[in-house]
């Protein structure tokens, strides 16, 4: 490896919080250190910051989904790379002739890179799903399946049967990619599955300890392979999961707004669907963050007063306060941004009678619900329906600041914040002058 063209492996592990390391003290040779997280401790904002070294106010990823004003509907977990604004930290490296790859990152489709792999199932018109991954170069997925002797298991990637072991395929595939003659000079890989049991059982649970141990068995071969190749490596979490308060930690801002006559729903086949065209205020939620959209400024004081009366809401940030924290992006942010109190989280439902729930409420539907729904981690009745019982959720995230540090290891031991890692990578990838 020449000094002018250093090679790098970057591993981003979901929910790898410093609290996990301190609590469970895993048996590993990896030496972790705490880092301050980004201002929005959520998957997609963190990934966007790591690939741009920019805050949400500039890269535009204000949650893992948001309200699309032009379409008047929410959109979560969309995959287009064009959604992430800003120059990439690897642009200088690629301009200098180096190669870059992204494995299992969100919003990676369409990135002008040398290697991309991401889950991309095909939904059949007559029902059912074709399990598939999008790859560039196109034969890569077939090659990996042949090498590993099995396809990527999307059913264990998310939902009631999601398991930490899904990361084994990603880890093993990454090892195969690193061993290829055309392996990217800089490879980014995302391991998504640590947070499943942390959300189900809480970060202090025995299940969390087991999930952490399993995840480290997936990470350690990657760092060893990188070292054997002379690659520098960086391992970091994107957020830390905190315990949910006993009982039910869920908050329901859309119910609050509907009871006040600000959120409108229309009845179809005895089910209540949101009417975003006429609603005067509504919430798009993501764990401990909620964007409140108020189309008419005249309704803003009332909406704010109503929400301020809820003790489970720790902060209400208007546009000015969001701007001060570098999280306001005009086209996507709400007029208000709610931050939950410790141990509380935001749920999207607006109905109170379960018989009036829209049909997607008891389904895995990660794209159309107006918010992330952790209840999809549990079966309802009858299976394969998912539950609507928010009291089952025992871990959540999104809050930032002291007590929410992430864990990191490898490159940039001097870094103090998650943003520092991105800035360090940008500098590392720049060609020597």
Contact 380, 386 (CB under 8 A): yes
CA dihedral of residues 372, 242, 51, 184 (deg, nearest 10): -100
Q: How far apart are CA 158 and CA 150, in angstroms?
A: 18
In tens, the pLDDT along 323-337 reads 999 999 999 999 999
Q: What are phi and psi of 413, to 5 degrees?
A: -65, -20
CB atoms within 10 A of CB 111: 22
Q: How far apart are CA 208 and CA 336, in angstroms?
A: 34
CA 4, distance to chain mean position in Å, is: 33
Helix (H, G, I), strand (E, B) or coil at 220: helix
Whether the predicted pLDDT of 107 surpasses 80: yes
Can the peptide bond before residue 262 be classed as cis, meaning omega within 30 degrees of 0?
no
Contact 22, 404 (CB under 8 A): no
Q: How far apart are CA 327 and CA 124, in angstroms?
A: 38
Name the residue with tokens 């963050």.
289
Average pLDDT on 271-289 reads 98
> What integer pLDDT is reported at residue 121 of this predicted model?
78
Contact 306, 40 (CB under 8 A): no
- Candidates 322, 319, 310; CA nearest to 346 is 310
- Candidates 299, 287, 293, 312; CA nearest to 254 is 293
Contact 30, 220 (CB under 8 A): yes
The token pair at 217 is 């068995």
Domains (range + CATH), the chain: 8-241+399-429 (3.40.720.10), 250-393 (3.30.1360.110)
Q: Higher-confidence residue: 129 or 299?
A: 299
* Pick from 73-82, 123-132, 184-193, 198-207: least confident: 123-132
Can the peptide bond before residue 382 be classed as cis, meaning omega within 30 degrees of 0?
yes
Whether the predicted pLDDT of 290 surpasses 70: yes
Kindly tell me the sign of the dihedral angle through the C-alpha atoms of 389, 349, 352, 362.
Answer: negative
In tens, the pLDDT along 222-259 reads 999 999 999 999 999 999 999 999 999 999 999 999 99
In tens, the pLDDT along 381-402 reads 999 999 999 999 999 999 999 9
Q: How far apart are CA 338 and CA 335, in angstroms?
A: 10
Average pLDDT on 271-296 reads 98
Q: How far apart are CA 13 and CA 193, in angstroms?
A: 8
Q: How far apart are CA 26 and CA 40, in angstroms?
A: 27
Which run of H or of E encompasses 34? strand 33-35
Whether the predicted pLDDT of 432 surpasses 70: no
Name the residue with tokens 């308060």.
245
> What integer pLDDT is reported at residue 5 of this predicted model?
74
Contact 242, 394 (CB under 8 A): no
Label residue 1 by pLDDT band (50, 70, 90).
Answer: very low
The token pair at 155 is 């059913």
Q: What are phi and psi of 19, to 5 degrees?
A: -60, -35
Label residue 2 by pLDDT band (50, 70, 90).
Answer: very low
Kindly tell me the sign of the dihedral angle through the C-alpha atoms of 397, 398, 401, 406.
Answer: positive
Which run of H or of E encompasses 145? helix 140-148
- Candidates 111, 58, 42, 22; CA nearest to 327 is 58
Q: How far apart are CA 432 and CA 420, in angstroms?
A: 20
pTM here is 0.96
- Degrees (nearest 5) of the Cα angle 97, 101, 102? 150
What's 83's DSSP letter? G
Q: Do the strands 406-410 and 33-35 form a parallel or antiparallel pair, or are they unpaired? A: antiparallel
Label residue 4 by pLDDT band (50, 70, 90).
Answer: low
């Amino acid at each position: 490896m020449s000094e002018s063209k250093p090679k790098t492996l970057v591993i981003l592990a979901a929910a790898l919080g410093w609290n996990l390391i301190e609590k469970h003290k895993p048996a590993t040779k990896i030496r972790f250190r705490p880092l301050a997280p980004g201002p929005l401790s959520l998957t997609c904002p963190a990934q966007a910051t790591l690939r741009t070294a920019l805050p949400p106010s500039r890269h535009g990823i204000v949650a893992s989904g948001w309200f699309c004003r032009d379409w008047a509907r929410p959109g979560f977990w969309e995959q287009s790379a064009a959604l992430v604004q800003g120059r990439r930290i690897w642009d200088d490296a690629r301009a200098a002739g180096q190669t870059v790859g992204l494995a299992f990152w969100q919003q990676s489709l369409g990135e002008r890179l040398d290697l991309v792999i991401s889950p991309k199932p095909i939904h059949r018109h007559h029902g059912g799903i074709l399990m598939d991954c999008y790859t560039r170069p196109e034969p890569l997925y077939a090659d990996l399946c042949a090498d590993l002797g099995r396809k990527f298991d999307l059913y264990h990637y998310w939902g009631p049967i999601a398991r930490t072991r899904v990361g084994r395929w990603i880890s093993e595939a990454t090892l195969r990619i690193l061993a290829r003659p055309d392996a990217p000079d800089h490879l980014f890989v995302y391991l998504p599955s640590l947070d499943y049991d942390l959300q189900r059982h809480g970060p202090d649970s025995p299940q969390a300890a087991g999930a952490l141990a399993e995840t480290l068995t997936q990470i350690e071969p990657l760092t060893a392979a990188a070292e054997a190749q002379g690659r520098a490596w960086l391992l970091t979490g994107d957020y830390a999961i905190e315990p949910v308060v006993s009982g039910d930690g869920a908050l329901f801002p859309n119910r609050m707004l509907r009871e006040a006559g600000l959120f409108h729903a229309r009845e179809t086949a005895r089910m209540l669907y949101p009417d975003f065209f006429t609603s005067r205020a509504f919430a798009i939620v993501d764990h401990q963050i909620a964007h409140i959209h108020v189309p008419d400024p005249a309704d803003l004081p009332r909406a704010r007063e109503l929400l301020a009366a809820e003790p489970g809401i720790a902060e209400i940030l208007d546009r000015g306060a969001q701007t001060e924290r570098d999280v306001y992006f005009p086209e996507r942010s709400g007029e208000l941004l709610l931050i939950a109190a410790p141990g509380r989280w935001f749920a999207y439902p607006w109905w109170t009678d379960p018989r009036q729930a829209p049909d997607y409420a008891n389904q895995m539907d990660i794209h159309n619900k107006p918010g992330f729904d952790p209840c999809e981690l549990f079966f309802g009745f009858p299976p394969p329906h998912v539950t609507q019982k928010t009291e089952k959720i025992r871990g959540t995230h999104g809050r930032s600041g002291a007590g929410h540090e992430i864990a990191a290891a490898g490159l940039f031991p001097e870094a103090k914040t998650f943003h520092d890692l991105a800035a360090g990578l940008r500098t590392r990838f720049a060609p020597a002058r």
